[in-house]
Structure formats: C-alpha cells, structure tokens
Structure 1
C-alpha cells in the first residue's frame, strides 16, 4: 500500500468519526431541548389543575370567613395573573414563575386564614380540597425539580467543549430555570 492511500483512508476515517460525533452531539442537544419542553409541559399540567382547584377552595373558605375579603381578592388576582401568563405565548419562564410564586404566597395566606376558623377545619369538603391542593403542590415541586434537572443538563451540554461547537453552529440557546423570586423566599406575614 502506498503512503498516499493510507493517509487518504485515515483522513476518511477521521471525517466519518467527526461526522458521527457531530450527529450524535446534535441529537443529544435536540433530545435535551425536547426534554426541557416536556418538563415545562408537565409543570403546566399541574399548574392548570391547581388553578382549576382554587375557585372551589376559595368559595369554601368564603362561606366561613366572608369578612376576609382581602385574602380572597389576593388569591383571585394571583390566579388571574397565572391564567393570563399561561395563555400568553410571549410569557417567559421567569415571568411565569413570578406569577406562580405570587399565587403560592396568596394560597399560603388563604390557608392561614382558614386555620382561624375551627368549624371550617372540620368541613369535609374543605379538607378534601386542601388535601388535593397539598398533593398538587407536591407534584408541582417535583415537576419543577425534574424540569430544572433537565435544564441543567441542556445548559451544561451547550456550554461544554466539544458540544458547544455544535450548539453554536445550530443556535441552541440555554433554557431558563424555574426559580423562586426574592419575595417567595421571605416568610409570609399572616395577620388576623
């Protein structure tokens, strides 16, 4: 065999390996991007269920604590903000997270208000609604954790060598984490 033929074969093998690696890296980035979208869709399903449950919970508490109108107004306004953010396609993950965090704070205040009414605590309908909400909150927290884990994997793949080359060539962008805002990190103040 001639030296030129050996060099040609080596060059072809290197090109095939590089193309194979490039296809594999691209497919991995697409998979991660789709998992991020799926993770957000899973969060969205849980948030929709929570938004649908809230009016029932508010109406049940309203029957016992009709003079606590400020709490009901906060919950209703926060829910409206979440629904508006969810239905607007230009809403970013950060804006959606802020709306969801505001709703979580309002729900905390609603639950704290409900604790001041022992007869409400004994109401089976209220207890069922509260348990459903608690389960949904746990599912939402779990879905957020999964979403953030996938975002971490995607963002790491986009930033690390050598997949950053493929990410740059095909304009892959980093995804936003679902983060609590500063107000959510504060302990809510409940006053009666």
Structure 2
C-alpha cells in the first residue's frame, strides 16, 4: 500500500515538473499580452476618423493623403491575428505590415499639414495618437517578453516534455519591427512636400 502511495506521489511530482501547469499559463500570458497589442492598435484606429475629420475641416486639398490614412486604417482592420495564429510568422508579418502602413500614413499626414499643429482639436488628437503609439510600444514589449518566456519554457527541461507530449506546443512568433525601423522617420514641417 505504501509502495503505491510512493509511486503515485513520484508520478505526480514528475508530471508537475513537466509543464502541465506552467506551459498553458505561459501560453495564456502571451495571448493576453497579444490582446493588449491589438487593443492599442484598435484605439489608434478609432482615433483616426476624428483626426481625418479635423483635417478635412481645416483644408480640402491634399485629399490623397487623407485617402491614404483612411485606406491604411481599413487595411489594418481587415487583418486579424488570433491567439492561435501567434505561431504563424506569415500572419504576424502581414499584421505588422498593415500596422506599419497606418504609422507611415499618419507621419505623412503630419508632414502635409504643419499648420494644423496650432489647432486645438488636431493637437489633442495627435497627443492622443502619440500616447497610443507609446502604449503600442509598451504592449509590444510586454508581448515579446511573454513570447520569450513561453518559447523558453517549451524548449527547456523539464517543461519541454509536457509541452510536446500533452500540448503539442509550438513556438510563438514575436512581434518584429519592419526593416529600417531603427532609422528615425524624417518629418518636414516646412510645408515643402517632396
């Protein structure tokens, strides 16, 4: 009887050390951090119509830039990445590219309308967008940290055993910056468009 209890205890200890709880916990943490990234990108997308309306009220020219901002937002909203897609580098890349398109179009908007900087509504909206961009950066950092912890957990002993046997765990894809992101964007407020 004691032998069975010892065997049961030893089996439970071995299973506990094989990632039965830690692997799904790390996976759910990474998925929650991804949801934070998406929430902040959605916040940015929700601010854009107000920004576009403000710009339209101040100037009716340069409609192509406004169209580009609106189209970039629409494109970014069509690409969805679920928690199950976090292991698909192609889907993560498409999502990143769409979000980078929004960032670029917003930068062009600022370049084209430097006179709007002095208008209260525009300044408020741009301040909100700047704050949102900071939130996005922080949520991406937190997501990448959670992905790193998850990927490390499913690849190291003893959790790697449970990760493969019980969950069929695959590494998640971290959020990556677009090529050239290390270079600061050039913003020209002189009113000359190149």
Q: Taking structure 2 as the reference length, what is the TM-score of the superposition?
A: 0.81
Counterpart residue number, 2:172:
175
The alignment of Structure 1 onto Structure 2 pairs a total of residues equal to: 183
> Is 1:28 equivalent to 2:25 in the alignment?
no
After TM superposition, the structure 1 = structure 2 runs for residues 147-166 of structure 1, keeping only pairs within 5 Å, are: 147-166=143-162
Choose between structure 1 and 2 for higher RCO, CA contacts under 8 A separated by at least 6 residues.
2
The whole-number CA distance in structure 2 between the counterparts of 1:49 and 1:9 is 55
Once superposed, what is the RMSD of the aligned Cα atoms?
Answer: 2.7
Flag the structure with higher helix content.
Answer: 1
The whole-number CA distance in structure 2 between the counterparts of 1:31 and 1:6 is 33
Q: In the TM superposition, what whole-angstrom CA distance separates every residue of 1:131-158 from its partner, at most 9, and x where no partner exists?
A: 1111111111111111111001001111
User: How far 1:75 moved relative to its partner?
Assistant: 1.1
After TM superposition, the structure 1 = structure 2 runs for residues 1-192 of structure 1, keeping only pairs within 5 Å, are: 13-22=9-18, 25-86=19-80, 92-115=91-114, 117=115, 120-169=116-165, 170-182=167-179, 184-188=181-185, 192=193
Comparing 88-97 and 58-67, the one that deviates more: 88-97
For the pair shown, which has the larger CA radius of gyration, 1 or 2? 1
Q: Taking structure 1 as the reference length, what is the TM-score of the superposition?
A: 0.82
Q: In the TM superposition, what whole-angstrom CA distance separates every residue of 1:158-179 from its partner, at most 9, and x where no partner exists?
A: 1112211111112011111111
The whole-number CA distance in structure 2 between the counterparts of 1:12 and 1:37 is 33
Q: In the TM superposition, what whole-angstrom CA distance separates every residue of 1:51-105 from its partner, at most 9, and x where no partner exists?
A: 0110111221233343222322221121111111138997822221211111111
Comparing 48-57 and 81-90, the one that deviates more: 81-90
**Conservation of the 8 A alpha-carbon contact between 1:46 and 1:136:** yes
